[in-house]
Amino acid sequence: MTMHHRPLARLGAVALLASGAFTAVGTPAHAAGSAADLTVTAVVGTKVAEGTRIKTAYAKVTNNGPGTPSALVVKADTSKVDHYGEVAFLPAAEGCSGEGAAKPVLWTCVVPEEQIPGPGETLELPIVMIKRVPDVDEPYTAPVTLTVESPDDTTADNNSATVQIEISKESGVDLGVVVPDVTRQLAFDDVLKENPPTEALNPGDATTVLAFIENQGDRIADGLDLKIALPKGVTFDDGIQVKECEYAADLRSADCRAGLLQLAPGEGVLGAFPVEVAAGVKAPVSLTGGEVSLRARGELAATEANLARKRSSLPSFLHRPAGSRAAQAGDVDPTDNRDDFAVVVAAAGTGGGGQDGGDEDGGPLPVTGAQTGLVVGIGGAVLVAGAAMFLSARRRRVVLVTPGDEKPTA
């Protein structure tokens, strides 16, 4: 595991390149047929720590197949939210608009065609929650209902989910992780390049899984432990391993320790994991079942003294921008401490798409497109200044991250 440090704007560019902008190189064709089972699988990160003013949550919309719908709309019913009192709840992506005379009561997000998830893929819609007052006398909660609509949806009873948003009186670390689906080749050494060379991901190819990690709490995260599991048919690159990670014998899972890493509120890191697709995988196919999860080892109060003393010694492969902010800890909101991802493999000699496929056991879903899904990271400080940061990335959201501190060597 390598943790790369960037300021918010630069990391946004990295996330854009790594997660979705590769469609400029070539987008796999959609499989024939538009009938699909769409579902709101989760809405995560909806609890805000006491000292946090702005937080990004995510609504996950998964396509269970078999086809790719021709159109998709995501709606958020915010009629129960006191927008002008405690909190504002704002879907933060292109194509989203609000309705309501006195306050927004319904948000409608029309998903662009190229961002509609194919079978086995997940669209993650970023939602910004802004606490309007610095302190609340007591915890505030309100229900929000997310619903998906598509003329091609085959199952109507799993199209909505209701979640409670919460402005809490609880202080602490609040880690979040976003792992974009892997759809193109990305060389480990090219992760931080502005325009990395990319090609279609075919059986036998090497690429990189990225994990965007951020502390959205109000206390310093002191040490980090991360676990990563890869889909069947994908293994870690045996030639590029990190001493801080313990790998399973089959090279499909790893436990990684970043005991020297400290993340201040609003700070984050980018982890990079070189992997390989098995040569025997039958493509095109979406290999699902990947997962990254994490926890903080401890926490420190975000006082001026602690922030000034926060560890800043970095090995050569970590980068800290100038002027950036600098026993297991509890987590204010553990719902966003893990994220699933898929590895989308194209047929050899093509840019992707084609006939249905699967691995030797016929398990994974066929690939129907390398969508540039909605992935938006919004930095609190940037938002306070009135600027939203948008990261258009494929299906799997990307949380914004900046600097931290650890000592792995590749």
**Domains, the chain, ordered by start:** 2-384 (2.60.40.3670)
Helix (H/G/I), strand (E/B), else coil: 18: helix
Determine the Cα–Cα distance for residues 87 and 82; give it in Å rounded to an integer.
Answer: 6
**Most confidently modeled of 137-141, 203-207, 309-313?**
203-207
Determine the Cα–Cα distance for residues 259 and 243; give it in Å rounded to an integer.
Answer: 13
Which of the residue ranges 160-164, 248-252, 321-325, 360-364 would you say has the lowest mean pLDDT? 321-325
The whole-model pTM stands at: 0.74
- Average pLDDT score over residue span 350-377: 37
Which of the residue ranges 56-70, 104-118, 312-326 would you say has the lowest mean pLDDT? 312-326
- DSSP assignment of 242-277 equals -TTEEEPTTSSEEEEEEEEEEE-TT-EEEEEEEEEE
Provide the 10 A C-beta neighbour count for residue 246. 11
Can you name the residues that pair with 333 across neighbouring β-strands? none
Determine the Cα–Cα distance for residues 142 and 15; give it in Å rounded to an integer.
Answer: 31
Buried b (16+ CB within 10 A) or exposed e, 370-393: bbbbbbbbbbbebbeeeeebbbbb
Residue range 289-325, pLDDT digits in tens? 999 999 999 999 998 888 888 765 432 223 333 333 3
pLDDT at 401 over 50: no
Residue range 93-103, pLDDT digits in tens? 778 888 987 78
pLDDT at 219 over 90: yes
> pLDDT-based confidence at 338, cuts 50/70/90?
confident
